[in-house]
Every structure is written in structure tokens, then in C-alpha cells.
Amino acid sequence: MRHLLAPENRPIYPVNPSSSEIMGLTSYASILDIPEPVDMAAIVVRAELVPAALRECVQKKVNSALIISGGFRETGEEGKKREEEIIEIAREGGIRFIGPNTMGHLDTSSGFNTTSFIEHIPSGSVGLIAQSGNMGTRIIQNAHRYGMGFSKFVCCGNEASIYLEDYLEFYAQDPETKVIMLYIEGLRDARRFFKIARKITPKKPVVALKSGGTKGSARASRSHVGALTGSDDVYTAAFKQTGVIRVSDDEGLCEVTTALLNQPLPRGKKVGILTMGGGLGVVAAESCENEGLEITELEQKTLEKLNALLPDRWSHGNPVDLVGSNVAHSPEIISTLWILLEDKNLDALISNVWLGRINRDPRLGRIFGNTDTSGETDEEYTRKFFQQVGQYDIPLMMIGGYPQTASDLDAYILFHKEGFLIYPQPQRAARVLRHLNWYRQYLETISGD
């Protein structure tokens, strides 16, 4: 309600039989008492009262509704009958509705927000459809950790009237949505889903987290949104055939989406690794190889450039290990990054060597190449750095530790705003590269059809 009121150019009519004013607005005993036409009704009453409320919406000729109330299919037989009743009312009355048992939806460009819990949602290019309000909320609450912004969000609820497939179709043609993010427990119309997905993925990436594939989780899902989760193998195969990138947790969902929005797709599987210490190089190399990527040879040209630049103790190969801290804080370091980004043997670069501002934040400041930064704000400096990274056409995956202080957190968020994540583990960066690479291969396969 509070969020609905935010953009003041949209008239809101509270309906409540027991009060005449709500948050400064005239309240009506019934939707039928509202003097103006109504576009959409948001229904938040006890389950038993929903059918009557929906009937009044039909009478009022409301186009669409949002039924937040729970107590339907997800609660058993009685709820299931009630759900069938409202489906029937809506069908006869020509209304379609979100939910029931939904946490709402939002659209950042118009500021229309029917959720009760999400504030300050950053606008952007990600369209999220979630078959769970709290998974949707988790993703949105973690968004600024990934520098992600949203075009639209919807919590599907029980999908009695509008199905996930409908939202997907709608997002597909939405110009503000560049990547579609899905949290799925079970599809109502899997055949239709995959038919739509196949059409979308060549133009707009679709990234999906599917859960509910095991016995106990399927049971949990039934009592949650009444979803029929189905065999996990079938989903895996269908995602694969239709170009839907399937991730295994909500972190992966956000990481892959962020990379798709901000990084070029890798041309192939050959990865370069740049590290300030051997162990991390070993772990990064192993992570890549475990994900089916290759630790390739560097170009002869690259070896020569690095030999000319670095003290002799560097590893003389890939992973490029700068060996310890003596070369840290020196302008050579950042040059190493540019030299590797130029190497034609590499399809992607994983690096724990990246921009940092010496003297500003000692933790981020270990690397640094810009000796003339006077007068620049951190934002300007960061943007310039990433603009330069953007000149090269391979993805750069940066590895760091976890932010441990408020200033770490600020610096990370600054980077993330530019679309560059600091992955806390090389394993994660490798995993994202595997997904990007799979998607590139998928696109090549279908364009070759």
C-alpha cells in the first residue's frame, strides 16, 4: 500500500468496509462504490472473502487483479476448490489475475509496485519472474551486491490465471528487459514454456534456477505454491535444448546474469589466469579445468612482453604468477593486465590483479596503474578503468576476498555498479565462464541450423 502510493500520478482507491479513510485517502466499502473506472484491483482479504471480492471486480469491469491472499491450492482440498471457484469467476468475467498467494509485482519504469516489502529497487535491465516470493526477495535484496537493476519483477504465486509462461512471453517483447531471470519450482505448461524459451534465447538470454527436483523439496513445493515439480532430468534436457542457462543457486543466477549484461561472451574455452600468488593460480586453474575450460599457452608475443616488464621470478607461463608482493603497488602490474587482455590465445581472463586505489583503501590499493588520478573521484577513476577493459573483447573475471569492512563493501559496490563483480572464489568465476561458454556454443549451434 505504502509503495503503491509512491508515484503520485496514479490514483489509488482503498476499499475496506470498516473505515472511511486510509492513509489520507477516501476508503470505499466496496469496489462498486468507487466513482471512477478501475484498471486493476489488488485483493488482500481472507481467502473465504476472495471469491466475493473478485465477483465485485467483474461487476466493476476491472481488467486485471492481483490476489495476494493465500489459502488456496497450496493448503489442500478445500483451498483447491476455492481456487477453482475464482478461476471460474475470472474466466466468466474476463479478468486475469496474478496469484493468488503472491507477494506482488513491480515495474521500475512506471514505479508501480504492489509488493509490501521491497523498497528502493534499482531500475535496470533484468526481468525477474519468481515462483516464490521469498526467493524473489532474496534475489532483489542481494541485487546491489551484484550492481543489478530490474525492469520488472513478478511473484507468480499459485498461477491460477496468469502462468509463468505468460509473464515470460511478456518479458520477451519488453524493450526494457535485456536478460530474463527465472526462479522455477514447477511449470504449468512445460511444453509451452520451452516453445517460448526457444524463441527468446537467441535474442535475449534466459537464466533459470529450478528447484524442487528431489522428493522432499517437491513435497515442500506442493505445500508452498501447489507446484508439480516434475522430473529434474526432463527439465535439464529441455533447458539444454532451448538455450535456457540453468544455474544451481541464487548466487549463480545473479552472477551469470550480471556477466551476461556487462561482459562479452567468451569466444571459446581457453582461459588465462593472472595472479599475485601461486596457490590461487593453482586453485583457479583447477577450477577452470573442473568446469571443462582449458588453461592455454600464451602467445609468444605475450611472453616476450611480460619478460621485458616483470622481474625474472614470474611464472613464465599460464597461470601468470607475479610471485608475491614486491611487484605489487607498481605500475607494471596493471600493464600485465592489458598485455593479457590483448593475447589472442585467450578467450577469457581470470585475475586477482585489478584496479585499486593505492593510499585510499589499502585492501583495494594493492594494484594500481594510474599515476595521474588527481582530481578524479573514485567513481570516475573506476569508470575509466572499466572503459579500458571494455576495449578488449574478452570477459575479465576478477577474484578477491570477501569484503570485511564498510570501506571494502563500498569499493566492491562501486565496481559492481560498473558491472564488474569481484568473485570471492575462483571456483565461481570459472562456473560463470562455463555458463557463458555453453550459451555461446548454443547460439552458434542454432545459427548453424
Give, as ranges, the residues between 167 and 196 that touch its own copies (CB under 8 A). Answer: 183, 185
Residues 54-83 that bind its own copies (CB under 8 A): 70-71, 74-75
Q: Does 272 bind its own copies (CB under 8 A)?
A: no
Considering the complex, state which of residue 115 and residue 151 has its C-beta at the smaller distance from its own copies.
Answer: 115
Sign of dihedral through CA atoms 13, 17, 22, 26? positive
* Residues 366/337, Cβ–Cβ less than 8 Å: no
For residues 258 and 435, give the distance between their C-alpha atoms in angstroms, rounded to a whole number: 12
Point out which span in 59-67, 258-266, 284-292, 380-388 binds its own copies (CB under 8 A). Answer: 284-292
For the bound state, the minimum distance from the C-beta of residue 425 to its own copies, rounded and expressed in Å, comes to 5
* Single-letter amino acid code for the residue at 351: S
Grid coordinates belonging to 35: 466513482
Any contact of residue 233 with its own copies (CB under 8 A)? no
Residues 4 to 43 in contact with its own copies, rule: CB under 8 A = none
CB of 84 to its own copies, least distance (A): 19
- What is the CA angle 207-211-213, rounded to 5? 130
**Positive or negative torsion for Cα 230, 232, 233, 234:** positive
Residues numbered 245-264 forming contacts with its own copies, rule: CB under 8 A: 248-251
Q: How far is the CB of 287 from its own copies (least distance, A)?
A: 8
Of 10 and 219, nearer to its own copies (C-beta) is 219
- 102 binds its own copies per the rule CB under 8 A: no
Rule CB under 8 A: is residue 330 a binding residue for its own copies?
Answer: no
Interface with its own copies includes 345 (CB under 8 A)?
Answer: no
Residue type, 60: K
Q: Which is nearer to its own copies, 199 or 360 (CB)?
A: 360
72 Cβ neighbours under 8 A, 6+ residues apart: 47, 79, 80, 82, 83, 86, 100, 101, 158, 160, 226
Whether 102 contacts 136, CB under 8 Å:
no
| C-beta of 14 vs 403, nearer to its own copies | 403
| Region from 195-203, 290-298, 331-339, 439-447 binding its own copies, contact rule CB under 8 A | 290-298
Q: Kindly tell me which of 75 and 441 has the beta carbon lying closer to its own copies.
A: 75
> CB within 8 A of 348, min separation 6: which ones?
266, 270, 271, 272, 293, 394, 395, 396, 397, 433, 436
288 with 350: CB under 8 angstroms? yes
By CB under 8 A, the count of residues binding its own copies is 76
Is residue 236 part of the contact set for its own copies (CB under 8 A)? no
d(CA 251, CA 231): 23
Of 98, 200, 260, 295, the one binding its own copies (CB under 8 A) is: 295
324 lines the binding site for its own copies (CB under 8 A): yes
From 19-27, 105-113, 165-173, 274-282, span contacting its own copies (CB under 8 A): 274-282
x/- map, 116-155, its own copies, by CB under 8 A: xx------------xxxxxxxxx--xx-xx----------
Please enumerate in sequence order all residues whose Cβ is within 8 A of that of 430, keeping only pairs 6 or more positions apart, or say none: 271, 284, 287, 288, 290, 291, 293, 350
Q: Min. distance of Cβ 373 from its own copies in angstroms?
A: 25
304 lies in the site for its own copies, by CB under 8 A? no
Helices (H) and strands (E) in the chain, counts: 15, 18
- CB of residue 107 to its own copies, shortest distance in Å: 21
Cα separations (Å) of 209 from 33, 135, 188, 395?
Answer: 44, 10, 16, 23
What is the rounded distance in angstroms from the CA atom of residue 212 to the CA atom of residue 228?
Answer: 9
User: Least distance from C-beta 29 to its own copies, angstroms?
Assistant: 24
Residue that the C-alpha cell 523439496 belongs to:
217
Stretch that binds its own copies, among 171-179, 223-231, 331-339, 371-379 (CB under 8 A): 223-231
Check binding of 325 to its own copies (CB under 8 A): yes
